[in-house]
């Protein structure tokens, strides 16, 4: 896929919950096709401590309004400066980067999309694309507490949504891998996941035990984002491979996780 | 030119720029045998720069010659292979193999990588060692031989003179400066290798000083690099005596930066009524 460097204009920023921001950008040119699981490298100006670009997942692409949505968890200087930008700011991005989630083979497949924290970001676009291709995905979203469950109304447009919170303030209490929907029949035939590593490892371990094909999206720190520096590698069955080009999406069988 | 290890093999950037416009593409560090590189994490962002500890991950010179070279041949008129090793025999064997590739116009001998145990830097830190590798490779490599120098030394001019005496056609400098990053919260080093190589604007003043010193010390052309982010930085290196420059870390911040720098240098020359870039090389008024 051809990659672009573009200046996008910030249309709006909405604080969904404390430190979580939904930022919508638009471009004068029609946005190129982007696949679920792909990411953009955002240049953050006016943050003296932020030297490199920041990789951020495609949260959604609205073709009608020509908008790219990014879901930002403000955890450091780069993401904080980004989320505080005034409307109409121009932000330079390189995109679309990385591989994408594998589309299911059969229309009858039962698909489970598990997201935790800001890792729910690519799950929305994946769900939207699956829905557009005639699938009815099931979403399982996890957070510490109710306010961490984000974009619920958008997920509901594309499939059934179940939640877990560690404190029980929304959905079932506990972790995603303890949710009752996992036991529902017929069993899920494919799982996609993105979130904190311990969560993805628990999901991967569940998938392996139950023989369900599973893909996860990794968040290794990056420098170039285009396969030029070899900084972002993950140790896989094929040796060290770049997460920015051969990932961020990996089948769990490619990884050397102790699951 | 593009600095080794920061531009992949070139095609990574062909969506962003016309790669034929560059003076040369210097590909990733290539060794005799396959190298897995260092474990993740290999990178730490630092004030105005970054540390890397990639550790020369590459598939070996045979794989390069058979699988990568055919696909990048013609990408640019000057494809330069950055050759690394841990023993003289490895450098020689790798250079012999590279010499057979028509489309490769030069070797850049990396005797200065800080990220491999008993790696090239052992050669790069003494004038004796640097001379020894240069001499051995010179014997088997008839085309242009550039030797890339380490800044992690007390007198870089002495090393430059030593490799010049053994027949190097040019020297390039600087490679990364040995550094370190610590995660205070976890009380652990950020890099898996504890130390790594610093690059980016943070190293520019050091690089500029060294290019200036080496340009005074040797007759052969000096290629300057280290923290060049824009045309102005590039012009400073030319004024200090570099006859060519390389762009490294800046490619990560702006994948189109190289051609912008070429355009910027040309505009600078026009604005100041210089008819050729030759006129500003070493033209620093002191
Ligand atoms: C493919 C990919 C997709 C991503 N998608 C999103 C997204 O959609 N939304 C979002 O908010 N974030 C996403 N991230 C993470 C985001 O890139 C980092 O949070 C961001 O770089 C932090 O920058 P900062 O300057 O705010 O924080 P920094 O000051 O750089 O870091 C703050 C703290 O976070 C840690 N940290 C930084 N980057 C990472 C990382 N990649 N993994 C683990 N810890 C890290 C640092 O060690 C430090 O402790 C993604 C990362 C990748 C690789
Ligand atoms: C990620 C990374 C990988 C590098 N790999 C190599 C290498 O394989 N061989 C080499 O001679 N130099 C390597 N370098 C050093 C650069 O070529 C260059 O000398 C250094 O980064 C300083 O220039 P800069 O500040 O413009 O990046 C690497 C640098 C970086 C950042
Ligand atoms: S971030 Fe540079 S290779 Fe992946």
Please tell me which residue in B56, B75, B109, B113 is annotated as part of the active site.
Answer: B113
User: Does the C-beta of B201 come closer than 6 Å to ligand 2?
Assistant: no
**pLDDT on residue B105:** 96
**pLDDT on residue B114:** 58
How large is the average pLDDT for residues B257-269? 98
**pLDDT on residue B258:** 98
Instruction: Tell me how many residue pairs between chain A and chain B have CB atoms under 8 A apart.
Output: 90
Which residues contact residue A215 at a Cβ distance below 8 angstroms, ignoring those fewer than 6 apart?
A101, A102, A191, A192, A193, A249, A250, A251, A252
Confidence class of residue B173 from pLDDT cuts 50, 70 and 90?
A: very high
**pLDDT on residue A144:** 93
> Which of A32, A45, A38 minimizes the C-alpha distance to A6?
A32
pLDDT > 70 in chain B, percent: 97
C-alpha distances in angstroms, A152 versus A135, A194, A220, B72? 19, 16, 27, 47
Give B56's contacts in chain A (Cβ within 8 Å): none
How large is the average pLDDT for residues A102-117? 92
**pLDDT on residue B86:** 85
**pLDDT, tens digit, for every residue of A22-69?**
999 999 999 999 999 999 999 999 998 999 999 999 999 999 999 999
- Residues of chain B whose beta carbon is less than 8 angstroms from a beta carbon of chain A are 5-8, 12-13, 15-16, 28, 36-37, 39-43, 45-50, 52, 54, 57, 200, 249, 251-256
B15/A235 touch (CB, cutoff 8 Å), yes or no: no
Separation of CA B152 and ligand 2 centre (Å)? 14
Separation of CA A245 and ligand 2 centre (Å)? 20
Provide the mean pLDDT of chain B: 95
**pLDDT on residue B117:** 52
pLDDT > 90 in chain B, percent: 91
**pLDDT, tens digit, for every residue of B37-73?**
999 999 999 999 999 999 999 999 999 999 999 999 9
> Which of A106, A113, A103, A112 minimizes the C-alpha distance to A194?
A113
How large is the average pLDDT for residues A171-178? 93
Does domain A111-217 correspond to CATH entry 3.40.50.80?
yes
Ligand having the closest approach to the CA of A21: 1
Ligand having the closest approach to the CA of B4: 2
**pLDDT on residue A202:** 95
Q: Which of A223, A226, A228 is nearest residue B43 as measured by Cβ atoms?
A: A223
**pLDDT, tens digit, for every residue of B174-215?**
999 999 999 999 999 999 999 999 999 999 999 999 999 999
User: Does the C-beta of B251 come closer than 6 Å to ligand 2?
Assistant: no
Distance CA A47, CA A44 (A): 7
- Does position A183 have pLDDT exceeding 80, yes or no? yes
DSSP string for residues in B139-154: HH--SEEEEEPPSSSS
Provide the mean pLDDT of chain A: 96
pTM: 0.95
Q: Where are the alpha helices (DSSP H) in chain B?
A: 61-63, 69-72, 88-99, 121-124, 127-140, 156-165, 204-217, 231-239, 250-253, 257-271
Per-domain residue ranges of chain A: 4-97, 111-217
Distance CA B75, CA B97 (A): 20
- Residues of chain A whose beta carbon is less than 8 angstroms from a beta carbon of chain B are 2-5, 43, 48-53, 94, 220-235, 239-240
**pLDDT, tens digit, for every residue of B109-167?**
999 765 555 545 577 888 888 999 999 999 999 999 999 999 999 999 999 999 999 99
Give the homologous superfamily in CATH for domain A4-97: Translation factors (2.40.30.10)
Q: What are the structural domains of chain B?
A: 11-280 (3.20.20.70)
DSSP string for residues in chain A: ---EEEEEEEEEEEEEETTEEEEEEE-SSPPPP--TT-EEEE---S-TT--S-EEEE--EEETTTTEEEEEEE--SHHHHHHHTPPTT-EEEEEEEES--PPPPS-TT--EEEEEEGGGGHHHHHHHHHHHHTT---EEEEEESSGGG---HHHHHHHSEEEEEETTSSSSEES-GGG-GGGG-SSPPSEEEEES-HHHHHHHHHHHHHTT--EEEE-----SSSSSSS--SEEEETTEEEETTTT-SEEEGGGB----
**pLDDT on residue B116:** 58
**pLDDT, tens digit, for every residue of A208-226?**
999 999 999 999 999 999 9
Separation of CA A78 and ligand 1 centre (Å)? 9
**pLDDT, tens digit, for every residue of B228-241?**
999 999 999 999 99
B128 is catalytic: no
Residue to mutate (ligand 3; options A3, A39, A94, A228; most atoms within 8 A of CB): A228
E strand or H helix that includes residue B2: none
Separation of CA A232 and ligand 3 centre (Å)? 5
């Amino acid at each position: 896929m051809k990659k672009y460097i573009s200046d996008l204009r910030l249309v709006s920023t909405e604080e969904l919950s404390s430190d979580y921001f939904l930022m919508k950008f638009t471009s004068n040119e029609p946005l190129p096709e982007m696949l679920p699981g792909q990411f953009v490298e955002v240049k953050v100006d006016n943050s003296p401590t932020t030297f490199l670009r920041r990789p951020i997942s495609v949260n959604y692409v609205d073709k009608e309004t020509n908008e790219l949505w990014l879901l930002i968890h403000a955890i450091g200087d780069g993401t904080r400066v980004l989320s505080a930008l005034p409307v109409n700011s121009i932000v330079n991005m390189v995109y679309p980067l990385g591989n994408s989630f594998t589309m299911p083979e059969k229309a009858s497949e039962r698909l489970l999309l598990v997201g935790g924290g800001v890792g729910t970001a690519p799950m929305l676009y994946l769900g939207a694309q699956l829905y557009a291709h005639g699938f009815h995905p099931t979403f399982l979203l996890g957070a510490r507490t109710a306010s961490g469950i984000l974009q619920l109304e958008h997920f509901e447009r594309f499939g059934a949504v179940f939640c877990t919170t560690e404190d029980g303030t929304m959905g079932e209490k506990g972790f995603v891998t303890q949710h009752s929907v996992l036991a529902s029949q017929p069993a899920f035939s494919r799982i996609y996941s993105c979130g904190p590593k311990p969560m993805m490892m628990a999901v991967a371990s569940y998938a392996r035990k139950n023989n369900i094909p599973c893909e996860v999206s990794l968040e290794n720190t990056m420098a170039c984002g285009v396969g030029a520096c070899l900084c972002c590698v993950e140790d896989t069955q094929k040796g060290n491979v770049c997460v920015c080009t051969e990932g961020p999406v990996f089948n769990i069988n490619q990884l050397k996780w102790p699951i | 030119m593009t600095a080794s290890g920061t531009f992949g093999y070139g095609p990574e950037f062909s969506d962003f720029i016309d790669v034929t416009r560059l003076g040369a593409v210097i590909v990733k560090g290539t060794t005799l045998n396959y190298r897995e590189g260092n474990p993740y994490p290999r990178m730490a962002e630092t004030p105005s720069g970054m540390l890397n500890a990639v550790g020369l991950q590459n598939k070996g010179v045979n794989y390069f010659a058979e699988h990568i070279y055919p696909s990048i041949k013609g990408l640019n008129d000057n494809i330069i292979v950055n050759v690394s090793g841990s023993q003289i025999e490895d450098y020689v064997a790798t250079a012999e193999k590279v010499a057979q590739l028509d489309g490769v116009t030069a070797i850049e001998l990396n005797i200065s990588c800080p990220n491999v145990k008993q790696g090239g830097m052992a050669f790069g830190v003494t004038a004796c060692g640097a001379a020894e590798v240069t001499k051995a490779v010179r014997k088997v490599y008839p085309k242009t031989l550039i030797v890339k120098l380490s800044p992690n030394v007390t007198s870089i001019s002495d090393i430059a003179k030593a490799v010049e005496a053994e027949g190097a056609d040019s020297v390039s400098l600087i490679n990364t400066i040995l550094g370190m990053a610590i995660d205070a919260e976890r009380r652990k080093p950020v890099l898996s290798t504890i130390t790594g190589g610093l690059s980016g604007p943070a190293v520019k003043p050091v690089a500029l000083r060294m290019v200036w010193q080496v340009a005074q010390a040797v007759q052969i052309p000096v290629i300057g690099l280290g923290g060049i982010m824009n045309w102005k930085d590039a012009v400073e290196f030319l004024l200090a005596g570099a006859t060519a420059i390389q762009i490294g870390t800046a490619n990560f911040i702006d994948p189109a930066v190289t051609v912008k720098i070429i355009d910027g240098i040309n505009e600078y020359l026009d604005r100041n009524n210089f008819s050729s870039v030759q006129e500003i090389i070493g033209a620093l008024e002191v």
